[in-house]
Amino acid sequence: MKTGIGKLLRNRFMIGILLSITFLQLGIWVRNFAVLMFVMEKTNGSALAVSLISVAEFAPIFFFSFIGGVWADRWKPKKTMVWCDIGSAISVAFVLLALLLGTWKVIFLATLVSSILSQFSQPSSMKLFKKHVPEDQLQSGMSMFQSVIAVFTLLGPVLGTLCYYQFGISVSIGLVSVCFLLSATVLSLLPADVNIDNMKHSNSIRTEMAQGLHYIKDRQILLILGTCFCFTGLGIGFIQPLGIFLITDRLGLPKEYLQWMLSLNGMGMILGGALTVVLSKFMQARSLLAVGLAVNALCMVISGLSTFMWLTLLAQFFIGMVTPGFQVAVQTLILKNTEQAYIGRVNGLLSPLFMGSMLITMSMSGWLKDQLSVMVMYLLAGAFFGVGLLITAPLFRKTTLAEAKGMNIL
């Protein structure tokens, strides 16, 4: 195990991509929370203004994810990532200039532009993973990648809020631009792009989108993952905005106790990220996926039924702990079962399935909670994760899938 991790840490690509994601996560979290606090102050806590931040952050996933995936399959991945980070830094610099000139509403542009560019950059990073990380180390590499994200999930809100209140919006936005530039600098030092596939690209974007759809349709394992994404997205959407009601309705505690639940969930993610790095040498990706789905389903049911603070916190901790393994398993299965030439389009199509499904039920969750109860909502979420677990059962029939399509589901 140590030898495997040691090899990864001697891999020039892994060092570069881990440094890059560290700078990006720092910039993203400072941007998100500095913008949130700034807009809250400027609008006296306007719910509409705050919601526009979320729109700027998530809308590009629907409108640009698949398009970004198509172009990621056409462009050189390293160059794409470098220019996307540079573009994000430039957009943030323009926002800083506008702030200095007194036009604060342009602050939404920083989030919107960098969110759009990330839809081109993210699938390119997966193409580089496929190229530069040996297949037997993909799962460990993705575990290290997700561990960095898990750390910032806990520390990011604190760092972003602290930066804003200590230095103000101008310095915070300036720091974001520097972080994107540092990421671009690190990525520029990665091994040069080469012709990593011999696929002849069509002049028609629509044709290449159709090719991506047919590619997924013809591969049962990708269809399974896509269907699983839909059900887990629907499940998370039921409860995503309702965490505070676990505290107030089920436990009868003040809303301020929500911070403890979120903190324990974040701590679970950090521990889970570290455990996933270790377990990746012993557990197959399909097993990590099944454990993640099963634990989520069970802990959501426990959270809904519990009237004890310690039990609710424990359930949320375990949800956080299995989240990195779940994410690593999904990305590993996609990378191992997708040809290099289609990685961008597969990622670009599967990602919106999860987000779109989540937003469908999230848009109804408040109304449904009033009609039913927070307990029923968490039970429904657990049930959807249970269905997701059942959907993945064919992944354990190795001969059916691997031999039929020549795929690797380990």
pLDDT tens readout for residues 67-109: 777 777 777 888 888 898 898 888 888 877 777 776 767 777 7
Tokens of 355: 């987000």
Residue 41 makes CB contacts below 8 A (sequence gap 6+) with none
Q: How confident is the model at residue 193 (pLDDT cuts 50, 70, 90)?
A: low
Helical (H) or strand (E) element with 402: none
Position with higher pLDDT, 217 vs 2? 217
Q: What is the pLDDT of residue 314?
A: 94
Contact (Cβ atoms closer than 8 angstroms) between residue 210 and residue 333 = no
The residue among 72, 354, 61 whose CA lies nearest residue 208 is 72
Q: How far apart are CA 313 and CA 251, in angstroms?
A: 11
How big is the chain, counted in residues? 410
Task: State mean pLDDT over 163-167.
Answer: 88
Q: What is the pLDDT of residue 311?
A: 93
Least confident of 59-63, 112-116, 277-281, 346-350: 59-63
Q: What is the pLDDT of residue 293?
A: 93
Q: How many Cβ atoms are within 10 Å of 242's Cβ, its own excluded?
A: 20
Contact (Cβ atoms closer than 8 angstroms) between residue 32 and residue 179 = no
Q: What is the pLDDT of residue 45?
A: 64
The residue among 221, 218, 238, 239 whose CA lies nearest residue 391 is 221
Q: How far apart are CA 383 and CA 205, in angstroms?
A: 39
- Among 45-59, 219-233, 263-277, the range with the most confident prediction by mean pLDDT is 219-233
Residue 21 pLDDT more than 80?
yes
Q: What is the pLDDT of residue 325?
A: 85
Q: What is the pLDDT of residue 305?
A: 92
Q: What is the pLDDT of residue 160?
A: 85
Q: How far apart are CA 216 and CA 350, in angstroms?
A: 9
- 133-157 in b/e form (b: 16+ CB < 10 A) is beeebbbbbbbbbbbbbbbbbbebb
Residue 191 pLDDT more than 90?
no
Residue 9 pLDDT more than 60?
yes
Q: How confident is the model at residue 50 (pLDDT cuts 50, 70, 90)?
A: low
Q: How confident is the model at residue 388 (pLDDT cuts 50, 70, 90)?
A: very high
Position with higher pLDDT, 387 vs 79? 387
Q: How confident is the model at residue 195 (pLDDT cuts 50, 70, 90)?
A: low
Q: How far apart are CA 296 and CA 327, in angstroms?
A: 13
DSSP 246: I
Residue 148 makes CB contacts below 8 A (sequence gap 6+) with 18, 21, 22, 25, 273
348 phi/psi in degrees, rounded to 5: -70, -25
Q: What is the pLDDT of residue 294?
A: 95
Q: How far apart are CA 362 and CA 58, in angstroms?
A: 13
Q: What is the pLDDT of residue 48?
A: 67
Task: State mean pLDDT over 10-16.
Answer: 81
* H-state helical runs in 191-257: 205-217, 220-239, 243-245
In angstroms, what CA-CA distances link 378 with 194, 252, 309, 339, 374?
48, 17, 16, 38, 6
In angstroms and rounded to an integer, the radius of gyration of the C-alpha atoms of the chain is 21
Share of the chain above pLDDT 90, in %: 15
Dihedral, 75, 78, 81, 87 alpha carbons, nearest 10: -80
Q: What is the pLDDT of residue 97?
A: 79
Q: How confident is the model at residue 147 (pLDDT cuts 50, 70, 90)?
A: confident
Q: What is the pLDDT of residue 401?
A: 42
Collapsing DSSP states into helix, strand and coil, what is residue 18? helix
Residue 402 pLDDT more than 50?
no
Task: State mean pLDDT over 125-137.
Answer: 77
Residue 115 makes CB contacts below 8 A (sequence gap 6+) with 56, 57, 58, 59, 60, 61
Residue 46 makes CB contacts below 8 A (sequence gap 6+) with 39
DSSP 10: T
Position with higher pLDDT, 222 vs 75? 222
Q: How many Cβ atoms are within 10 Å of 191's Cβ, its own excluded?
A: 12
Share of the chain above pLDDT 70, in %: 88
Q: How far apart are CA 229 and CA 355, in angstroms?
A: 9
Collapsing DSSP states into helix, strand and coil, what is residue 180? helix
Query: Which pTM was predicted?
Result: 0.76
Task: State mean pLDDT over 272-285.
Answer: 81
Contact (Cβ atoms closer than 8 angstroms) between residue 327 and residue 153 = no
Task: State mean pLDDT over 275-299.
Answer: 87
Tokens of 399: 């001969």
Q: How confident is the model at residue 141 (pLDDT cuts 50, 70, 90)?
A: confident
Q: What is the pLDDT of residue 237?
A: 84
Residue 33 pLDDT more than 60?
yes
The residue among 113, 97, 106, 101 whose CA lies nearest residue 35 is 106
Tokens of 306: 């519990």
Residue 398 pLDDT more than 60?
no
Position with higher pLDDT, 222 vs 206? 222
372 phi/psi in degrees, rounded to 5: -110, -105
Task: State mean pLDDT over 237-260.
Answer: 81
Q: How far apart are CA 332 and CA 146, in angstroms?
A: 12
Q: How confident is the model at residue 391 (pLDDT cuts 50, 70, 90)?
A: very high
Average pLDDT over the chain, rounded to an integer: 80
